Structure 1
């Protein structure tokens, strides 16, 4: 069998180039675009990047999401914005006393943000595009237009803790009928007894290592997007609050400079599964997704209110990112370290005050007894 030789790349058809490039993932496609002029030209085709995005984020295959992505700059820009994860290495290593002094120096207007800037932000401008994978298989794709319960923007939402409950408020979910489950057929290890799972933790280890979350936030007004998730799990808690519950935490560290005193906040993404069936005769081990939520928390663990959350989310869409996912994890670990140190310092200060009040009480009693008894 003879093999035809190719003297140069120019002798190959553009259709063949396109067929080659459409089989690549996003990172490889971006690298291939730098290989030659022909690849560079063809890699600008939006159809290629649309295929890449729909492969990585199945929710982008919806017609309404396609229209949204086209309106903010196209699929190539969308991939460039959302594939890298947010990295924030400027976590302030401040002392607790300095933090309190800073709070006392702020006026109410300064603490609660720029009101004029806030007037240019509307909860309806934000769109959440969420995809969950388990062992490279998509198990959930949801899209939420706007921020729920924000109609009374200048009242309840404005001052209360910010929270998005995606399962209760998301738009239609054509693929899963509104209920997301995992079973042994999806790759879960079987569970016969919850007591045994509590000891060996096989199911927890499998969930913790196999679940991936992408939570992309798009602002339609400023035409920017970012992925607020850490992709892989940052931690969690098993058998809480009940023996059948497994809580997995994702997130990122977002800039809050000139918005909050702590200068950075944590975007907390919570995913909770509950065991609905254990292994038995004719029954497979089955988990049901019962919670998928987002909230923002400051250094002290307090939830950020709706007003400041809108400012933080807008700022996050233009902050630094990295294609190295380990850097995003390091950023979150650094935040947790500083937060733990702040908590320990607060507990030490409270302990000192407690001892001071006890000694003061004893001294007062002794003085009273000495003079009046």
Structure 2
């Protein structure tokens, strides 16, 4: 009995089948599909096939994503650094800035402590309120002078008398302060223009919103925990990013300050030398994916807990040392008294 050849099945639209992505023209994929994806989705598409990898690796896609996510990257200085220094230009920058540094302490070596290989840091800062951009700045900071390395580390994005108007309303109570913190999003990306690395040192959401009881200023704080030198007070360091807002006539608000500082587990503000070493290791260290960004507030709380525990341990150690000193003094006095009695 002759065998019948099965009918060839097709997946064309005319026969009701689903066309595969490879059947589409590359221009259609690139223009109408890939441009609608965010960074993680675009990276996932690139990993699905060789064709999509080639199409998803086009620099203009990643450049557009960077500009949409962080408007400060439109700055000529930032664009020059990204295109000229980063290995895969905008794609590498997006990968660095979208992930967060893993807070892993390291052992410092002479090679790691070569601070001169980072003569400059660039800060790209974007502040959004209810998904609308209200502040964007690029600040360049030299790191080679003695003044920078010996002074407390601090980067300001506004001049002393500069202010930025915002659509925010002044919070009259704690509940309004909490809502204000939920509506604000701050991105503070630190770039190493020589090493071609970047990282975001700001939490996705505010970790605290405090209103000063006397001046009425509202401080909104964001934070990221990074690894420092193992076995020291800076084993974990806190990148503290803050924005100071003040009320204006009519019930509105304006931004007066925006800053970045670094703090160790003793609550001490680190100087430029210490901060630069920690930032170097964090820039070159391992990263965690976007899913971990929701844990930044939790890590901030854990950092505060470890700081309190360290303070309590130091108090107990100081108490034991005081007791030892008192005991030695008492023994010395008793010995001296005994000698005096024998000499009579």
Measure, in 1, the Cα distance between the counterparts of 2:40 and 2:116.
35
Match for residue 163 of structure 1? 154
CA distance in 1, matches of 2:112, 2:223: 29
Q: Which of these residues, 199, 210, 232, is aligned with residue 183 of structure 2?
A: 210
Distance 1:254 1:310 in 2: 12
Counterpart secondary structure, 2:311: helix
Structure 2 gaps of 5+ residues are 1-12, 330-344
> Residue in 2 aligned with 1:75?
90
Secondary structure of the equivalent of 1:317? helix
Aligned partner of 1:14 among 17, 26, 44:
26
Determine whether 1:127 maps to 2:122.
yes
Instruction: State the structure with bigger RCO (CA 8 A, min sep 6), 1 or 2.
Output: 1
Which residue is 1:144 aligned to? 139
User: Is residue 344 from structure 1 mapped to residue 308 from structure 2 by the alignment?
Assistant: no
Q: Distance in 2 between matches of 1:17 and 1:25?
A: 15
Structure of greater Rg: 2
1:86 lines up with 2:101 in the alignment: yes
Structure 2 residue matching 1:42: 3-state secondary structure: helix
Q: Are 1:118 and 1:307, in contact at CA under 8 Å, matched by a contact in 2?
A: no
Q: For 1:32 and 1:137, how far apart are their aligned partners in 2?
A: 28
TM-score norm. by structure 1 comes to 0.73
Q: After superposition, where does 1:92-241 map in structure 2 within 5 Å?
A: 114=110, 117-118=113-114, 120-124=116-120, 126-147=121-142, 153=145, 155-168=146-159, 179-183=163-167, 188=169, 197=172, 200-239=173-212
Deviation at 1:355, TM superposition (A): 9.3
Deviations 1:165-210 (A, max 9, x none): 22129xxxxxxxx6322235xxx4x76xxxxx2xx42431222111
CA apart distance, 1:70: 0.8
Aligned CA RMSD, in angstroms, stands at 3.5
Give TM-score scaled by structure 2 length: 0.79
Name the CA distance, whole Å, in 2 between partners of 1:212 and 1:51. Answer: 20
| Contact 1:259–1:311 under 8 Å retained in 2 | no
The answer to whether the 8 A contact 1:85-1:328 is kept is: no
2:239 pairs with 1:267:
yes
| Greater shift in the superposed pair: 159-168 or 323-332 | 323-332
Unpaired runs of 5+ residues, structure 1, are 93-109, 170-177, 192-196, 278-282, 362-373
Q: Deviations over 1:46-94 (max 9, x none)?
A: 1101111111101112222111111223111111111012232x579xx
Q: Is the 8 A contact 1:234 1:249 kept in 2?
A: yes
Q: Which moved more, 1:317-326 or 1:31-40?
A: 31-40
Query: Helix, strand or coil: the match of 1:303?
Result: coil
The partner residue of 1:42 within 46, 55, 74 is 55
Kindly tell me the number of residue pairs found equivalent between the two proteins.
Answer: 315
Match of 2:299 among 290, 311, 331: 331
